[in-house]
Chain A
Amino acid sequence: MSESKNIVVSLVCFHCGDECKDDSIKIDEKLFCCNGCKTVYEILDQNKLCNYYNLDQTPGISPNFNFGNRFDYLDDPSTIQKILDFQDENISKATFHIPQMHCSSCIWLLENLYKLNNAVTHSQVDFLKKELSVTFIHNKISLKELVKLLTSIGYEPQILLESVEQKTENKVSQTLHLRIGVAGFCFLNVMVFSFPEYLGIDVNDSFLKTFFVTLNFILSLPVVFFSGWEYFGSAIKGLRKKIINIDFPISLGILALFGRSVYETLSQTGAGYFDSLTGLIFLLLIGKFFQEKTYSYLNFERNYKSFFPLSVTIKSIDPASDGQEGTEKSIPINKLMVGNRIIVRKNEIIPADSILFNGDGRIDYSFVTGESKPVSKVSGEMIYAGGRQLGSAIELEVIREVSQSYLTQLWNNDIFNKKSESFFTNFSNVVSKRFTIFVLLTAFISAGFWLPSSFATAINVFTAVLIVACPCAIALSVPFTFGNAMRIFGRNKFYLRNTSVIEDLGKIDSIVFDKTGTITQLGKSDLVFTGTVLNSFQQKMIKSLVRNSTHPLSLKIYNSLEADEFYPVTKFDEIPGLGITGVVFGNLIKVGSKEFVNQRLEADTITTKIFVSINDETLGHFSITNSYREEIDEIIKTLSKRFKLSLLSGDNEGEKFNLLKFFNKEDELLFNQSPENKLEYVKSLQSLNKKVLMVGDGLNDAGALKQSDVGIAVTEDISSFSPACDAILDASNLKMLPKFLNYSQSAIKIIYISFVISFLYNLIGLSFAIQGMLSPLIAAVLMPLSSISVVMFATLSTNLLAKKRGLLSQ
């Protein structure tokens, strides 16, 4: 961004790798960009932890030392209790989510925390989950101090209401591991003991025969009752809710197979089908494991609370002193009540709808509306939650509770609570329900048909029908196809919330784009100056002036101007919402809106223009043009052939001309859209029976993202991303969007083919079984065979297609 071209070798901070402005901050010939980085280096140096820098070049993260009383809520015992995993008289254990973790150096430093503070006894990192679990002696270091320590070395833990509220450890995967282990062990041993049977070796020794069968029987018990509980449990749960889910026929199949095998063992009529039984359960569980593994790290469902600060500073008013003076204290946000007087400092987010009581509000609502121009508010005005205060601290009176605020209401709109049912899960549930009834009927009827002639055949037919008709191939094809597709998407930095998103993606027929942050790059908008060409002296004066302001537009101007020295600015004044003035070497400089800089000009609201005048002579204006993401024109061209496209923007129409270069005339381009407008627009498309894909940045269009059939949030930084959407797409891979859509459609086709294959298996199997021509043994072979072939087909075809589409390297 900053163009210090006069320096041949760019000065890079030894700690964080950012560019240094000059070489003023250094120790031992090591340069630092800021004092924060220098302090971290000093801390590490003192504690002999500089190996940190040997592991990776410039691994650090610029720390923020400006704590204030930001972490005061960590003194609240009830909050501490929520954060800690474990506590006894001496030690406490806590797990933090640290999104800044990014390289092996981070792991090393965080696991060497005990060197920085001896009150920390143990710290361990889970890199993929970006989690740090710390054990510490709470008499020596408080939770607050620990968090401050982490923050001071650049790893600020992300403590969210969310994570504090629901701290349920996921033990599911561990149980699944155990179940697979047991099933695998028993399956392989049962196979070994079934070998004589397989090879048709005639075992005359009836003792050995019974011995093997008994062993198999014993081995199958843990498989059925421990590993198989995965299915029985789910089937029973379903039955309690009076739903027959896909696990029900699987359970029935397992039970039939088990019952039949036990019967044969006890009556000594055969060897049973313990091998097929254990193998079946093992394979089913493996399938489930793959499915879970794919999205265990992708759990990104969070809600509005993720954005809000955890604590607020309230000013308690002493009634005795007539509301004059009060003490400030920090309270957890959920204890905030209507009527509370709160203090919001610079860069803090307003937690609840409130009325400005004291101070100048300069609120950046980009989070809500996408508009980067701050809004100024004066005392007595209403301020909605979600804005970020840019100016100095303000005092507010809360008029609505956090859960009732405007923003919260938008988020709490019905659609956010709607859990969309997957068609395929639905489909396979419906099919298995109908199918189960059909299979049960077939089984009983055919058994009844055979009963008069032969009891043995009747039993054979009954079990064979139940086993062969078990719709597990149907159950497997969906998770395997979608699971694999999701994995392939993940490799392309496209992360889906769950597999049913693929299904929805395949049915999309219209696409709605958000402009800011989606097809334009946030923070990369270019600034163009039109008017009299500024000489270097004027540039330096303007740069010196805007240096005094923290307004985002001032920062942009600051970065766009070249100057290697600054002049002293006197009489600096900033008028919120209008502009800044100051005097440099006796020249009065004004930078700001049109009417502010030159009263004679008419106000112009179409584009964002910042006018500049020196000594009341207007020199020209800076205008902001958005820079579009690379290849956006190609993406839109490709997509417009097959989909109805529209564009929604929270900004004004200034960009319409540029946008028309990409979009066709028939595409709808809408401007000045509020988050609610966007939501309504998506709704209106849906009421025309369109399947809408919303592509947005997930901040000001969260409502629309959720309302749409598929909402994709395009983001530059996946680890720090939050809102509720169906999928996250790394901004660099937006160009792959058409490929992703095509691929989803193919995935659906693959599932249909898989369904057909498994139905054919079932029908052929059934027709033989009913006629009594299929022994349960062959049925039991056929069943896993059909499952395996369907799984093979699903996995291979998804991989093959991905390679063909260029989503997977060869």
Chain B
Amino acid sequence: MIVLLIGISLLVALGFLVAFLIAVKKGQYKDTHTPAIRVLFDNETENENKEENNSESK
């Protein structure tokens, strides 16, 4: 029983390790600054609406 539980816990942990390794391989740790800024940009559709509003108000 204990052996099974430990096996499962190890597998779960291993899953996280694999996730981490994939993240590293994909270069997620190469640049930790830019994505934080990028996420704040509005997406396309909103952009254009906003622009139109802006140009109207100006």
Contact = CB atoms under 8 A, between A and B. Distances in A.
Interface of A: 28-29, 48, 50-51, 54-55, 104, 107-108, 111, 124-129, 173-174, 177-178, 181-182, 185, 188-189, 192-193, 208, 211, 215
A177 B24 contact: yes
B17 to A, nearest CB: 4
B24 A51 contact: no
B21 interface: yes
Contacts of A104: 37, 40-41
A51 B42 contact: yes
A128 B33 contact: yes
Given A48-B48, A174-B24, A208-B2, A185 B30 contact: no
Nearest to A188: B13
Interface in B22-55: 24-25, 27, 29-31, 33-34, 37-38, 40-42, 47-48, 50-51, 54-55
Q: Which 7 A-B pairs have the closest CB atoms?
A: A127-B34, A185-B17, A126-B31, A177-B24, A181-B20, A128-B33, A104-B37
Contacts of A126: 30-31, 33-34
Given A178-B21, A182-B17, A208-B2, A48 B41 contact: no
A127 B3 contact: no
Q: Which of A29, A126, A181 has the most CB of B within 10 A?
A: A181
Contacts of B2: 208
B43 to A, nearest CB: 11
6 contacts: A28-B58, A50-B54, A51-B51, A182-B17, A185-B16, A211-B3
Contacts of B17: 181-182, 185
Contacts of B8: none
A127 B58 contact: no
A647 B45 CA distance: 61
Contacts of A173: 29-30
Interface of B: 2-3, 6, 9-10, 13-14, 16-17, 20-21, 24-25, 27, 29-31, 33-34, 37-38, 40-42, 47-48, 50-51, 54-55, 58
Contact of B50 (A51, A108, A208): A51
Given A128-B31, A178-B24, A181-B24, A48 B47 contact: yes
A194 to B, nearest CB: 13
A127 B31 CA distance: 8
Nearest to A185: B17
Contacts of B30: 126, 173-174
A50 B24 contact: no
Contacts of A55: 41
Contacts of B6: 193, 215
A129 B51 contact: no
Contacts of B3: 211
A211 B4 CA distance: 12
B27 to A, nearest CB: 8
B38 A111 contact: yes
Nearest to A208: B2
Contacts of A177: 24, 29
A181 B51 contact: no
Contacts of B14: 185
A220 to B, nearest CB: 14
A108 B58 CA distance: 22
Contacts of B40: 104
Given A127-B37, A128-B31, A128-B33, A54 B24 contact: no
A182 B16 CA distance: 11
A127 B3 CA distance: 48
Contacts of A48: 47-48, 51
A125 B33 CA distance: 10
Contact of B10 (A50, A181, A189): A189
Contacts of B38: 107, 111
Given A28-B55, A188-B13, 13 more contacts: A48-B47, A50-B55, A107-B37, A128-B33, A128-B34, A174-B24, A174-B25, A177-B24, A178-B24, A182-B17, A185-B13, A185-B16, A193-B6
A684 B38 CA distance: 53
A211 B48 CA distance: 63
A185 B30 CA distance: 21
Nearest to B16: A185
Nearest to A219: B10
A52 to B, nearest CB: 10
B34 A125 contact: yes
Contacts of A193: 6
Contacts of A54: 50, 54
B49 to A, nearest CB: 11
A178 B30 CA distance: 12
Q: Which of B3, B25, B41 has the most CB of A within 10 A?
A: B41
A107 B54 contact: no
Contact of B21 (A29, A107, A181, A192): A181
Nearest to B46: A51
A128 B42 CA distance: 22
A796 to B, nearest CB: 25
A107 B24 contact: no
B20 to A, nearest CB: 5
Contact of A51 (B9, B31, B33, B47): B47
B8 to A, nearest CB: 13
A223 to B, nearest CB: 12
B37 A189 contact: no
A188 B24 CA distance: 20
Contacts of B9: 192
Contacts of A128: 31, 33-34
A104 B40 CA distance: 9
A51 to B, nearest CB: 5
Contacts of B29: 173-174, 177
Contacts of B37: 104, 107, 127
B33 to A, nearest CB: 5
Contacts of B31: 126-129
A127 B2 CA distance: 49
B54 A108 contact: no
Q: Which of A124, A182, A185, A188 has the most CB of B within 10 A?
A: A185
Contacts of B47: 48, 51
A785 B9 CA distance: 29
Nearest to B32: A128
B47 to A, nearest CB: 5
B22 to A, nearest CB: 10
